[in-house]
Amino acid sequence: MEEDEIAGYVTAYLKKKGFTQTEKIFQEEFQTNKTNSSPLEPDIAKHILSFSQLESGPARFHDGYSRLRSWTHCSLDLYKHELLRVLYPVFIHCFMDLVAKGHVQEARHFFNTFREDHEMMHLRDLQKLEGVLSPTHLEEMEFAHSLRQSKFNIKICEYSYELLLQHLHSTQSTTILGIINEHINFQVTPGQPSSIVDDPEAVTLSGSSQDAANQINQKEIHWGLLEDSLEERLEKASSLLSDSEKGEGEAKEGETEENKKRPVEGGKQGASIKKVKKDKGGSATGKNTKAEVNTVSAAPRVKPELPMPIIPTEVEQSILEDLRNRVQLSSVALPSVSFYTFLNTHNGLSCSSISHDGSLVAGGFSDSSLKVWDMAKLGEQTASSLSQDENDTSQNPQMGQSGGGKRQYTLFQGHSGPVYAASFSPVGEFILSSSADSTIRLWSTTYNANLVCYKGHNYPVWDVQFSPVGHYFASSSHDRTARIWSMERIQPLRIMAGHLSDVDCVQWHANCNYIATGSSDKTVRLWDVQSGECVRVFVGHRSMILSLAMSPDGRYMASGDEDGTIMMWDLSSGRCLTPLIGHTSCVWSLAFSCEGSVLASGSADCSVKLWDVNTSTKVSRAEEKSGNASRLRSLKTLPTKSTPVYALRFSRRNLLFAAGALAKNG
Amino acid sequence: MSTVPKETIEVIAQSIGITNLSPDVAFALAPDLEYRIREIMQESIKCMRHSKRTILTADDVDSALALRNLEPIYGFTSNDPLRFKRAAGHKDLFYIDDKDVEFKDLIEAPLPKAPLDTSITSHWLAIEGVQPAIPENAPVEAPTEIRKSSEYKEDGIPVDIKLPVKHVITKELQLYFDKITELVLNKPASIPFRRALISLATDMGLHPLVPYFSRFVADEVAQNLHNLTLLFALMRLVRSILQNPHIHIELYLHQLMPPIITCVVAKRIGNRLSDNHWELRNFSVNLVASICKRFGNVYHNLQPRVTKTFLHAFLDPTKALPQHYGAIKGIAALGSRLVRLFILPNLEPYLLLLEPEMQPEKQRNETKRQEAWQVYGALLCAVGQCMHERAKIFSNLLSPSTRASSRPNGKAMIAMSSKRKASTENLMQQQQPPLKKLATDGPGGVVPMNSMSVDMQMQGSAGAFSTMMGVPNVGVSSMARQISNDNTMGREVGGQQSKVSSILAQAWKDDIDAGQLLSSVYELFGESLLSFIPKAEAGVFL
């Protein structure tokens, strides 16, 4: 019996593996040596048999996965949610294995059979993977590539782990076992399974980058405020009235000194964080210590790593005046919101920005134009509009034909692609705009003219932001980099590379030493401006990140994504404090109030929401130990009349400005 | 395997001039095509997001193609999202309606209006966290679709509605008013009109327009009695204004009521015979009823005046039947008490008048006859409702009683009880007492039974009748005969009894007829009437 059968297995095996030559020879030899056959050992025969069965094509993935799936769903409730986490990585790797082996038909079938299971959690990933239909696509596609190369980290308790292994061994699912061994990295924790609450860290999607992220997040970070800030000076002024003028005088001196040093110090100053730390310890002058004693906010002070620009005295005076008149906001004292509605945009408005005092509003349009409205003039413009506008046009050749002198805005033309972002300098005399033509342009609002065109990015520049002190700005682009620029150089000062996909938004830290970038790879990164290194990776969002905001005390960061989720991060620990759930569509804009007690968010669902920051951060930290993720308290929802909210800005007096384009078709 | 079938590849190949594409190539290209499309879509979505939109436009796809150094697809550029149409007969096949445009037409067409330039308006979204109730803000707790206010509709006039000053109507409100009246007059069935109605019913700051609107309604109703659609649109306008919680309509009721009542009891509404003016009358009656209900306690003479108007119309035999119909409906809508006071006493003489109109032998005019039937239906409805109300009132006061029937009809009862027994058991209990009350009123309590003699016939024809109510056809005549037989029988019985009882008997009989005939239309009503036969009595028959 045996020999024929064995021969059958062997031929089957050879056929399967495509060894046609060998098969032929084997057949021949088998025919000739039929008589004096060497008896194969029965267990070897069995092995070969099982091997050839195992290799029985793509069906084994399907079978193996469906068996694992049904087993998981029947498992004990206590451990079920942990075991369910295993399914997703197994699923996508089964699929990719099938594709890689060229069983495209089966891969598609497999994918469609089981995709529903994961749609809720991983819809976007699935949509990306769905299109992968040939081995070359796997190679080509960034996302698939990174999945193949990295491992999934799954937190799982000891018992669940044992259960899983037992099941896999007892059912002989070597295929699945192989996938699990190859692609999943179990973090087995002793004791009880983790609570059922959806912990974003339980399954990390970014694979190996998670390790890197963890490592990166160990780095030290100085989230404190800049020493000698205007706010600080104001506090000083109010507390020590007699000393105030002297203090300000000193401050100005210090600045001018710094300014003189700037050209020399360009690369030298603050070369490392440690040095800054030393600086801080060493250079704590009497003035600074005085300030620290008197400050209300407990935020630590740090030295700027960049040479700071000087602020003109009159501007400084007006800022100080604003600070004195600031309204204190809290959960019981909500801000007033002034809303600027863009009319007749014909779906062309792609961004808008509001100056720090709310008097200027800029709109970037898909027809490459940038338009700036002076809201203060707009109010009084009814009668004296004609002369006003004629003056404007005579000053500005770029404004083109003014349509009968009735135009209410200043038109800036120069870009050759949709304008995706605009940013006012702190004082409001400059505007930066970034465009799909991969350039950034600097405009002057006093001369109504283009001053500089910054070229450096290779692809559309999605976002540009002035630093809180002006002079420096950061940009982010489709070319997966973020760049730091200064106004006076046409080359970037730093290039931050590391994101795996487009860098969609950028935001400066309050102390100007860091920038945060949000990306389509669903992570937010924090970069050291001086060294250009990535110092934090924040993982947790489920879709592309659209907006970022830094709290004024420099300790927290909020990020909003495409699904309407807002996450509040603690910069020092790199952990998510709490997800803020409430918006139903893209969060276009986020803004902290000036003392950091209220967070405002503007969304495509036509509403502005106000969130209580203080309770959220405190409560969540209190509840951190109990393991219960608290939800941030939503203070108020302000619906607009079919107007998605594009931009938000708290003025220095804590008046909230919002802007949006009226959507005709809703 | 790929969602792109290889036939698509072949078609594309043919369109660029490759006719001999081998199936293998098509087979290999299909998955790649799908992958490329997904890739482009992913990029387009990025562009869409950065343009701060949630609807993908052709521009986004073009920018995505540009990102990949590909040539954009020409001919689809538009700032508005493309409008896809569903291919008839296919569930998920869509296409863009791409009409051929005559070059000549294009050249000769007058230049389109220049698009309005972008502008900015500012308003307070919130003051210290509280949203002020100004037109720029979304109405509080309004459903989302209402946010698309009609003020900004159409050609996107930069509307900036200021809070009104006394007796000064702003330019914007004027525009709004013009827009709405234009919609009423010209496009009463269009979607913008429906949106306008929603806006009228919810928007704040419309109060200064109310006198203008009431004036407008009064004028238009007076001038356009022949135009049914316009009248209907006007009534809907009135209803929306009434619904608006921010408008104090009381001050203008004196101006609004006459046109509404005109729509109820006008002699002739609409031009053609086919115009369904009954519906308009019903609609207006509901408006009157709701106004009386809402403001009746504030204006004490409101309801009496309305009632007087209706009663005049009802009692005047020279008035046309539609007027009677409106009047009866109107009285009925104002409450069953009024029905009892004004309709029941006049029921018998009125039916005497009405009867010849309903019979084909006596009334040759088909239209007139149909009108008579409508009036008859309204009457049944009113009386039945009144009875039903009373039944409810008295159900707790009186105990059930047993009485012998003078004219039992076992056959009918069996059919009846077997059909209705289970469902109406408890209803019967409830309905019993009025009958008792009836018995105390006079000896006519037995009357309901006589109509049961024709029960079987009626049941057979009931279904047919209900279908005929709307569309008159030959069947009506045969029906009418049956009814008239029934009526005469009823009167025979009534004649043997005292006057009061005969009136009530008539009412009862009508009710039961109605219960049978209109069972499909007034389900609840019919059932409650059917169960008017006391259970005890049923027991006797059985």
> Which residues have a Cβ under 8 Å from the Cβ of A536 and sit 6 or more positions away?
A216, A217, A219, A221, A525, A526, A571, A574
- What's the pLDDT at B188? 75
Exposure on the CB side of residue B301, measured as CA atoms within 13 A? 2
- In this complex, the residue of A361, A641, A644 whose CB is nearest that of residue B138 is A641
Q: List the single residue in A with minimal CA-CA distance to B116.
A: A344
Residues B96-112: tens digit of each pLDDT: 777 788 888 888 888 88
Whether B178 is covered by a domain: the verdict is: yes
Distance of CA B85 to the CA centre of its chain: 29
Q: Do residues B65 and B191 share a domain?
A: no
Interface of A with B in 396-415 (CB under 8 A): 403, 407-409
Above 80 in pLDDT, residue B521?
no
Q: Give the end of a domain, one of B44, B60, B80.
A: B80
A562 touches chain B (CB under 8 A): yes
In a domain, B485, yes or no: no
Output the CA–CA distances (angstroms, integers) from residue A517 to A88, A224, A433, A537, B223, in the order listed: 28, 19, 18, 10, 68
Q: Which residues of B touch A104 (CB under 8 A)?
A: 1-2, 31
Q: Are residues B194 and B59 in the same domain?
A: no
B93 in reach of chain A (CB within 8 A): no
Burial class of residue A32 in the structure, from the number of CB atoms within 10 Å of its CB (0-12 exposed, 13-18 middle, 19+ buried):
exposed
Band of pLDDT at residue B308, cut at 50, 70 and 90? confident
pLDDT band at A323 (very low <50, low <70, confident <90, very high): confident
- Interatomic CA distance for residues A538 and A534, integer angstroms: 11
Q: Does A378 sit within 8 Å of B126, measured CB to CB?
A: no
Q: What is the pLDDT of residues A600-652, one digit of tens each?
A: 999 999 999 999 887 655 544 444 444 334 445 788 889 888 899 999 999 98
Of all residues in chain A, the one with the smallest CA distance to B52 is: A350
Average pLDDT (B170-184) is: 84
Model confidence at B278, in pLDDT bands (50, 70, 90)? confident
Q: Looking at the structure, tell me whether residues B181 and B329 fall in a common domain.
A: yes
Q: Are residues B218 and B326 in the same domain?
A: yes
Residue B41 lies in a domain: yes
pTM over 0.90: no
Hey, is the C-beta of A638 within 8 angstroms of any chain B C-beta? yes
Phi then psi for residue A440, to 5 deg, are: -120, 135
Q: Which pair of tokens denotes residue B153?
A: 């509709």
**Which pLDDT value is given to residue A32?**
67
Q: What is the number of H-type helices and E-type strands within chain A?
A: 18, 32
Q: Assign residue B206 the CATH number of its domain.
A: 1.25.40.770
Interchain contact B131–A (C-beta under 8 A): yes
* CATH number of the domain encompassing residue B45: 1.10.20.10
Mean pLDDT of B319-330: 83
Which one has a higher pLDDT value, B444 or B276?
B276
CB contact under 8 A, B46 and A585: no
Q: How many residues does chain A have?
A: 666
Inter-chain contact B1–A502, Cβ cutoff 8 Å? no
- CB contact, 8 Å: A635 with chain B? yes
Are B508 and B500 contacting, i.e. CB atoms less than 8 angstroms apart? no
CB-nearest to B46 from A345, A502, A666 is A502
Decide if B128 and A336 are in contact by the 8 Å CB cutoff.
yes
| DSSP sequence for B457-522 | HHHHHHHHHHHHHHS--THHHHHHHHHHHHHHHHHHHHHTS-HHHHHHHHHHHHHHHHHHHTTTTS
Res A300 pLDDT > 90: no
Contact A423, A473 (CB under 8 A): yes
Distances (CA, A) of B7 to A153, A663, B11, B21, B26: 43, 40, 6, 11, 8
Do residues B307 and B338 touch, judged by C-beta distance below 8 A?
yes
Q: In this complex, do B54 and A644 lie within 8 Å of one another by their Cβ atoms?
A: yes
Domain presence at residue B448 = no
Chain centroid offset of residue A33 CA: 69
DSSP state of B340: I
- Asked whether residue B527 is domain-assigned, the answer is no
What is the average per-residue pLDDT within A374-387?
58
| Residue B435, domain member (yes or no) | no
Chain A CB within 8 Å of residue B77 CB: no
| Final residue belonging to a domain, choices B318, B334, B350 | B334
Decide if pLDDT at A564 tops 50: yes
A302 touches A292 (CB < 8 A)? no
Whether B322 has a pLDDT exceeding 90, the answer reads no
User: Which residue spans within B55-214 are E strands per DSSP?
Assistant: 84-86, 94-96, 119-126
**Using CB atoms and an 8 Å cut-off, which of residues 235-264 of chain A contact chain B?**
none
Quickly state the pLDDT bin for A373 (edges 50, 70, 90): very high
Q: What is the pLDDT of residue B167?
A: 53
| Confidence grade of residue B451 (pLDDT, cut at 50, 70, 90) | very low
Whether A393 has a pLDDT exceeding 70, the answer reads no
Choose among B31, B49, B120: nearest Cβ to A104: B31
pLDDT in tens, A188-232: 877 766 654 444 444 444 444 555 666 677 777 777 777 666 666
Kindly state whether residue B150 falls inside one of the protein's structural domains. no
* Closest-CA residue to A500 (of A174, A31, A142): A142
Report how far Cα A615 is from the mean position of its chain's Cα atoms.
24
Both B71 and B187 in one domain: the answer is: no
What is the per-residue pLDDT for B80?
66
Is residue A157 predicted with pLDDT exceeding 50? yes
Distance CA A426, CA A555 (A): 21
Residue A266 and residue A428: Cα distance in Å, rounded?
25
Percent of chain B at pLDDT > 70 equals 63
Q: Are B61 and B181 found together in one domain?
A: no
In degrees, to the nearest 5, what angle opens at C-alpha A34 toward C-alphas A33 and A37? 75
pLDDT in tens, B6-45: 888 888 888 888 888 888 888 888 888 888 888 898 889 9
Provide the domain count of chain B: 2
Mean per-residue pLDDT over chain B, rounded: 69
Of A89-93, A562-566, B437-441, give the lowest mean pLDDT range.
B437-441
Q: Are A348 and A662 in contact (CB under 8 A)?
A: no
Q: Which of B334, B354, B388 is the last residue of a domain?
A: B334
Asked if the structure places residue B145 within a domain, the reply is no
Average pLDDT across chain A, whole number: 76
Residue of B nearest to A328 (CA): B128
Residue-range definition of the domain harbouring residue B185: 171-334
**Residue A15 in this model has a pLDDT that exceeds 80:** no
Query: Chain A within 8 Å of B203 (Cβ-Cβ)?
Result: no
Helix (H, G, I), strand (E, B), or coil: what is residue A19? Answer: coil
d(CA A232, CA A224): 13
